[in-house]
Chain A
Amino acid sequence: MPDPMPDQEPDPESHAAHRSDRDPEPGRERLRHAVVRPSRRQVVVAVLLAVLGFAFVVQVRDTKANDTYSGLRESELIEVLDGLTGTAERARREVGRLEARRDELTNESRARSAALDEAEQRVRTLNIIAGLVPVTGPGLRMTINESSSRVNVGSLLDTVQELRTAGAEAMEFNDSIRVGADSSFDNAVGGIELDGQLLEPPYVLEVIGDPHVLHTALTFSTGPIETLETYDGASVEVEELEAVDITSVREPARPEYAEPGTGQ
């Protein structure tokens, strides 16, 4: 051990401050002396220092090369492994949780979009039924010309009713008034009043539906055409069309009294 050896050279005043009083630079002198005039004793020291330098360099290089786990003890490796296992377990739990959340959200959004699709489909259907949007499709055009006498409201109403029975999906009078579920006919001066608007002859009724079925519904014996021609003295023209465009729309009316029942 490099302990100071009191038996070799008793030196009670070991403090540098005390020593520097009597001898200004004993350490430096000795150092210079050793460097300038090396003694034989230094050979042993040199050998040991060579060993130290060698070992030092080897260890430094080894440490640099072994920055992985190969230089660790068994217990340290176990600790590292434990840590990694814990981390992996936590990560796996997190992955599971997130996947469950993702599935949940996917299901939710799928259900929501399905409900939205259904609602949109319903809105489209209801818009057509209520006459809120312009529609087009196959159907027929019926033109009623008055000649001698006026056309009876009841005859027109019968016509509309027969067409509805035959599956008419949309009806329009004179290119301007859409017939809806709440349409009503009334007598008026100079024509017929439909939903508070005056209809003047000739009455042109455009209907969307199966053209043949619609036509049949009008032409049977004592049917609307016969009634119109026989009793009202009108001339009726019917043409089946590939495409009938109904452009007029109805304003949606908010029901004042009716409310959805609680049974649904």
Chain B
Amino acid sequence: MIAALGLLLGIIAGLAFAPDVPLSLQNYLPIAVVAALDAVFGALRAYLDGIFDDKVFVVSFVSNVVVAAAIVYLGDQLGVGSQLSTGVVVVLGIRIFSNVAAIRRHVFHA
């Protein structure tokens, strides 16, 4: 419940303040958001499996975001930034899909 409220609060804050994304973060924010989404779905799955741990969630959330951004940053330095961000998005997308499938099995038994 509190978690849902937090999500709502974040969305409202984003709509209310509507800050501009700094130019230096422009390439990394979308990847970070996708990585965080992956962490959240993983956490939800773990929770439904009954193995959720908030410390693990915090660490996985932060490390997901940092690693994804770092990979893209590295790619930008190597001149393959767009290709690497595509790769990261594909990998994270696959993970999100499999996590959502597990969640679906829990919730709908199908």
Chain A residues near B (Cβ < 8 Å): 1-5, 8-9, 11, 14, 16, 20, 25-28, 30-31, 34-36, 38, 41-59, 61-63, 71, 73, 75-76
Minimum C-beta distance from A27 to chain B (A): 3
Check: B37 CB closer than 8 A to any chain A CB: yes
Docked pose: A59 CA to B41 CA in angstroms? 19
Tell me if B50 and A30 are in contact (CB < 8 A). yes
Instruction: Assess the A34–B79 pair: CB atoms within 8 A.
Output: no
Question: A1 with B63: in contact, given A59-B29, A59-B33 (CB under 8 Å)?
Answer: yes
Within 8 A of A (CB), among B1-34: 1-11, 13-15, 18-21, 26-27, 29-30, 32-33
In the complex the two chains form, is B49's CB within 8 Å of A4's CB?
yes
Query: Which applies to chain B's interface (DSSP): helix, strand, loop or mixed?
Result: helix
For residue B27, give the distance in angstroms from its CB to the closest CB of chain A: 7
Q: Indicate if the CB atoms of B64 and A45 lie closer than 8 Å.
A: no
Classify the secondary structure of A's interface with B: helix
**Contacting residue for A54 out of B11, B38, B105, B109, CB 8 A:** B11
**Footprint of A on B, CB under 8 Å?**
1-11, 13-15, 18-21, 26-27, 29-30, 32-33, 36-43, 45-51, 53-54, 56-61, 63-64, 76, 79, 81-82, 99, 102-103, 105-107, 109
Query: A9-B50, A59-B21 are known contacts; what are 7 more A-B pairs with Cβ within 8 Å?
Result: A1-B63, A2-B60, A27-B106, A36-B1, A49-B3, A55-B29, A71-B26
Taking a contact as CB atoms under 8 Å apart, the answer to whether A2 and B46 are in contact is: yes
User: How far is the CB of A245 from the nearest CB of chain B, in Å?
Assistant: 90
What chain A residues lie within 8 Å of B53 (beta carbons)?
5, 8
